[in-house]
Amino acid sequence: MTTLTVRQTHKTQGEPPDTEKLKERSTTSVDKTPQTRINSTVRLLVAEAPTLSSSLVDLFQPLGYHIDQAHSAQETLTWLDDAPFDLLVLDTSVPGMSDAELVSRARTSQRDLLIVVLTAQATVESTIAAIKANVVDYLLKPCRSDDLLMTVTRAVDERAQQMRRQQLFERLREAMDTLDQPTLSREPAPVSTPPTPALTTQLIQTSMLSFDREKRMVTLQTNPPRSVELTDGEASVLVALMEKPNQVFTYHQLAKTALGYEGMDKWTVESVIRSTVFRLRHKIEGEADAPQLIRTVRGRGYFIALA
């Protein structure tokens, strides 16, 4: 196995990026890719100092990824602002900005970006920044080429599997919602029969809103009152929250209690619940960006704030 070694360089303020040079560098890296391509749909950004003894681009070319290259912190951020990437390999010898700041700004620029950090000397500040940015791996140099390649390919493969699972669950959810619509329209609630005690569980009422389980209809106690119909998934999440007001539900608890999902990985669970809550907020909240009903507890989950 070969060893990837990196020469230590002095950090200086990077020059403003040249758009033509960025395009030229991107084209060059793609043209030099070997004939055997593994996955040309994956876009990789390599950020490294221009004075390194060997380029990481040469190491990654056999993978068949679309590779772009940046030689300064500002160039790196310019690439991230201009195009979506699957993964960033960041050598902290890249000049122009502290390691911690560059990692943080890269994460802010692209929330779902996979990040692998290479460093010759880990500091407390850079380590904390890497943890906060949820990097895939934080490798100390020199590191073996095989280890770096394995880290990158494994991260890309796991992300692809997660995306496929999420798309599958979304399609299933849409299909379930579509199938539910005709059934509800053929079986309207009787209007001539007086309410009976058995129907009291059909309607959940609070001072701020009420929810009809059968019709999947939320009525907001606004002036004037406003009613909105929910999908099956949105209704299930709302019922779970309303039945235990002011109690925090984790993502996994909501997935299991409201949607009946079990055995899913953490990333898929959070994606499904977040997308459902996002749609639900846009329907029932006055301002979805500043929710007053469905509140977020960072790092834990959601609860519904009812008086």
Q: Which domains does the chain have, with CATH numbers?
A: 3-160 (3.40.50.2300), 200-304 (1.10.10.10)
Residue 249 is predicted with a pLDDT of 92
CA angle 230, 233, 234 (to 5 degrees): 45
* 96: confidence class by pLDDT, cuts 50, 70, 90: very high
Which region among 69-78, 136-145, 191-200, 247-256 has the lowest average model confidence (pLDDT)? 191-200
* 162: confidence class by pLDDT, cuts 50, 70, 90: confident
Q: How many CA atoms, within 13 angstroms, populate the side-chain half-sphere of residue 124?
A: 0
Which region among 94-98, 148-152, 284-288 has the lowest average model confidence (pLDDT)? 284-288
What pTM, to 2 d.p., does this model score?
A: 0.46
Residue 239 predicted with pLDDT over 80? yes
Q: What is the mean pLDDT of the chain?
A: 75
In tens, the pLDDT along 174-218 reads 666 665 554 444 444 444 433 333 334 678 877 788 888 888 899
Residue 113 predicted with pLDDT over 60? yes
E strands along 81-192, which residues?
87-91, 114-119, 137-140, 143-144
CA angle 110, 118, 138 (to 5 degrees): 75
Q: Higher pLDDT residue, 276 or 266?
A: 276
198: DSSP letter: G
Q: Looking only at Cα atoms, what is the longest distance across the chain?
A: 84
Q: Higher pLDDT residue, 138 or 195?
A: 138
* 283: confidence class by pLDDT, cuts 50, 70, 90: confident
In tens, the pLDDT along 64-81 reads 889 999 999 999 999 998
Residue 199 is predicted with a pLDDT of 34
Residue 14 is predicted with a pLDDT of 37
192: DSSP letter: S
* Torsion sign over Cα 24, 29, 30, 32: positive
* 115: confidence class by pLDDT, cuts 50, 70, 90: very high
* 1: confidence class by pLDDT, cuts 50, 70, 90: very low
On whether the CB atoms of residues 12 and 95 are closer than 8 A, the answer is: yes
